Structure 1
Amino acid sequence: MEEKGTFREEMGSNGVFSNKRRLKRLLCSWACLWRIFLILSLLFYTQLLFSSDLLQWRHCDTTTGTAEETTAIIASSAKLTTDSTYSGDLCELQTAWNTLTFGSNPSPKHLKIALFVKKWPSRRKAAGLERHAQTLHRILAQRGHKVHVFTRLLQEPIEVLRDDKAMQFHFNNYSGPGKASSWSLFQKISKKVNGFDIIHSESVSLPDKYAKGLPNVVATWHGIAYEIIHSDIVQDLARDPVEPRSHTLERALKGRVGKVVEEIKFFPNYRHHIAISDYAGDVLRKIYMLPVENIHIILNGVDPKMFRPNPVRGQAFRALHNVPQNAQLVVGMAGRLVRDKGHPMVFRVLREMFMGNQNKNMFFLIAGDGPWASRYTELGSNIKVVGSLSSDQLGDFYNALDIFMNPTLRAQGLDLTLLEAMFCGKPLLATHFSSIIRSVVPSEEFGYTFSPTHESLKKGLERVLEDGKKVVKKKGRACRKRATLLFTAEKMASAYERLFLCIAKGHKNGTDLCKYPLNFD
């Protein structure tokens, strides 16, 4: 009876308490449904993401797939390097613009280009996105286009102003409210120059709320959340069995699907999208569901004058860093020496390979800095970490190698180090990611790929040793030829220039520059 009385008191005369309990149960049920939706979404995206890659990994150790897959890949590679027969509207092209040949005549119109990039590279240190922005827009400025750069104020702005005189810089503070002030600064400059023909954003350097509704905005995506899901899963699978999952990775695995959904929502605010790999272009079309005519694949490019074969300088670099003259194979890595670049996996493999004085004629040169630099010194005298290098020094570094290895666990983007090594005539040993096998290493002719596991990487290195220098050099020559056909900075800049002219409605004697080929192509 006492319990019933208490129950009546809580209920009240109008059943308010009961209604509140029903509402609470309803809200809880919606929360559960939302969690279930997120889990199902993750499974759905993962299935799409790995429908091709994981099947390939199951059947490949150090090659790019089964015999049937390899045949198909080689066929697509041949098409990639000879697809100069395309005819039609460039905005309908669904393969890389780098496969086309654009005229070298002076541009029919000098464009006014506003570039938004969060950081501008310094001589001492620069990430791939900043180097891409600098390389591309230097060439566009040299071709007579008026390039205005909106970027963060650097510690040494004089150095930038001296090195890139052909461009105009508008510095601002990108931390916190600086993003808004950068747009205000852009609006002032835009009025002075009577408007810009093109607004180019490196990733989200220009926030989407300012891009919305502008027909001349072009965003180059160097990594998108859908690709990063792949990276998160690979990093988790690549962990040493005794190593616990980090809190950072735990949070990433739980929240990444939501990030993909957010990108799918706001990416349409940017009118035009440039994917830097064939695979990223597919993702933007099929997963992000962006209009096909607004997606353009332009592969990254590097300056071939900075990266080219030079055996003399390579030998000098070896001597400088005490590489033994009798080294059977010199393998190199470059970049940040951090976990998501695959260095825990590499460390584990090398520890096994060098155990008991094995493989003593194999030598590793590692360029870069990060927490794993000191760990490599534990593995003995067959490994030398040379620290961060300038672009000039990187050319000498690549020339000192027999093969360049990129063990990254990050599936997004298209790493410039792969292209730089190819220009120096070095074959590649790289992770079997779609962005790499479709755009860079489409067959064994250009090197080796491995699943992002320590067993597969170890087999890959053993395969390179088994093939020997003669085979490795042949692959290196093929790499240089492919790089010259597809990955020069001039070819990349020509593709961007033509796209910008097309978007800006640039014409030459009444000719529509969105069409290909033209009589001067």
Structure 2
Amino acid sequence: MNICIIAKSLPAHVIGGMEIHVQELVDGIVKKGHKVTVITTKHPKGIDKEEKKNLKIYYVGDEPIKYTDKFYEGSAKLFDKLNKTEKFDVVHSQSTAAIGLQIHSIKTPPTVISFHGTSIDEIKSRINVLFSKVSLVNKIKSFIMIFKISSAHILYTIHGYKFDGVIATSNEQVGVLTKWYNFQARNIYKVFNGVDIEGFKPRKKSTVLNKYNGENHKIILTVSKIIEQKGIQNIILAMPNILKYDGNIKLVIVGKGDYMANLNNLVQKLSIGNNVIFIGNVPFESLPDYFNACDLFVNPTIRQNGYDLTILEAMACEKPVVVSNIGSVPTAIEDGVDGLLVPTGDIKKLAEAVIKVLKDQELAKRLGKAARKKIEEKFSLERMVDSTIKVYEEVIRRNKERSI
């Protein structure tokens, strides 16, 4: 097949969950012998095109990582030009990146869209912020964003963009797409996100954190972009209770973002600076070392979206995980079987779950083993790529049948 994938961003723009997902999907499809053309937003260094065997990447628009009118127009014109010679078999829109083709009435082959989150999820996330322990300024910002996102969703439904196939990445997302987007159930395909189970796997305990933890105390790890919706403030708020169980426990926070100053202030306010370590960003290829250095992975998100890839990566490394029971997380974690789920924003329950795992080595081991097994069976990169290709084949087949 000859496939055109349109995406908002790639690792060349920023290293994040969606960017890694798109890159690994592209690489996996190419590895299977298919041709792929990617159209994405402006490159941060002004590069227009990159090319290697069976893969071409085009950068268009006026701003990196932003859906702008110029991106929608530029991507539509470029696709129309390329399609005359490439004759693509299918278009795959990552989130709403390919909507420009419909806005500008470009004739396309069968089109598939993957939802990595929805406007409904975003609205719910912003409502969660309104009721969480953040500043009044951030609550006002969230209220404004609720209005903007709601307006965008209304416009989306009015335009009624059409897709031949819709990929839902979780069980929960299927319900959102049928209820709020009016997609027909027969056009929705479940394809769970995948992780590289060879790159992320259990190894001998890594020494990468030894310089921060010379006496080999218990380590709680969180890996996230540092924004308020990721809820890192909640695990920090839970630390005083956790430290009552063991005053030597370390919380290691990997990632950067515009909420970093708030978290630093919170740590100082709680006088737990000796127990909280901010690492900053680390190379993606180094993440397995950090997962394998921890005793427990925590994701206290208040963001109503899919499951963060970091959850799957920790599980693939056979680590016990404690995660907010929100959004699509239950697709990835069965409470008490391969992880522990806690009520979103409940600091007391979060602390209790963390202590429960850290004090019970048999429980931690059982959860970790079950987590790895689930990732191997349902969330491997290989399974994700194969399932996505099957969706392409199905929508192409159905499109041909309709045209007979």
TM-score, reference length from structure 2? 0.87
1:435-489 Cα shifts (integer Å, max 9, x gaps): 111x1112311111111222332232233334x2221121101100000001111
Aligned equivalents of 1:414, 1:479: Cα separation in 2? 14
In structure 1, what residue type is equivalent to 2:249? M
1:470 to 326, 346, 362: 362
Q: Alignment partner of 1:389: what SS?
A: coil
Aligned equivalents of 1:445, 1:386: Cα separation in 2? 30
Q: Alignment partner of 1:366: what SS?
A: strand
Aligned equivalents of 1:362, 1:204: Cα separation in 2? 43
Aligned equivalents of 1:346, 1:203: Cα separation in 2? 30
Aligned equivalents of 2:85, 2:192: Cα separation in 1? 34
2:202 to 301, 305, 309: 309
Residue in 2 that maps onto 1:26: none
2:257 to 334, 354, 370: 370
Residue in 2 that maps onto 1:429: 322
Aligned equivalents of 1:248, 1:431: Cα separation in 2? 23
Q: Alignment partner of 2:357: what SS?
A: helix
Q: Alignment partner of 1:168: what SS?
A: strand
Residue in 1 that maps onto 2:124: 230
| Pair 1:219–1:446, CA change in 2 (3 A) | same
The 4+ residue runs of structure 1 with deviation greater than 6 A are 157-160
Conserved 8 A contact 2:90-2:109? no
Aligned equivalents of 1:254, 1:187: Cα separation in 2? 34
Q: Which moved more, 1:374-383 or 1:281-290?
A: 374-383
Residue in 2 that maps onto 1:360: 247
Aligned equivalents of 1:254, 1:182: Cα separation in 2? 28
Conserved 8 A contact 1:114-1:196? yes
Aligned equivalents of 1:401, 1:269: Cα separation in 2? 45
| Pair 1:158–1:250, CA change in 2 (3 A) | closer
Residue in 2 that maps onto 1:139: 28
Residue in 1 that maps onto 2:387: 495
Conserved 8 A contact 1:363-1:383? yes
TM-score, reference length from structure 1? 0.68
1:170 to 58, 75, 89: 58
Conserved 8 A contact 2:73-2:104? no
1:245-296 Cα shifts (integer Å, max 9, x gaps): 6321122344554444333334542332111111111111233221111111
Q: CA deviation at 1:155?
A: 3.6
1:171-190 Cα shifts (integer Å, max 9, x gaps): 22253423212211111111
Conserved 8 A contact 2:8-2:97? yes
Conserved 8 A contact 2:48-2:58? no
2:311 to 418, 440, 444: 418
Residue in 2 that maps onto 1:449: 341
1:297-354 Cα shifts (integer Å, max 9, x gaps): 1110011121111124x1x1122x3214341x31100011121111232332225544
| 1:248-397 alignment, distance < 5 Å | 248-254=141-147, 256-266=149-159, 268-312=161-205, 314=206, 316-319=207-210, 321-327=211-217, 329-351=218-240, 353-354=242-243, 359-374=246-261, 375-376=263-264, 378=268, 379-397=272-290
Structure with higher RCO (Cα < 8 A, 6+ apart): 1
| 1:71-86 alignment, distance < 5 Å | none
Give aligned-pair identity as a percent.
24
Q: Alignment partner of 2:5: what SS?
A: strand
Aligned equivalents of 2:16, 2:49: Cα separation in 1? 16
Note the aligned Cα RMSD (angstroms).
2.7
Aligned equivalents of 1:159, 1:183: Cα separation in 2? 16
Unaligned runs of 5+ residues in structure 1 are 1-110, 507-511, 513-521
Aligned equivalents of 2:123, 2:74: Cα separation in 1? 32
Count matched residues: 386
In structure 2, what residue type is equivalent to 1:481? K
- Higher helix fraction (1 or 2): 1
Conserved 8 A contact 1:118-1:174? no
Q: Alignment partner of 2:208: what SS?
A: helix
Q: Alignment partner of 1:199: what SS?
A: strand
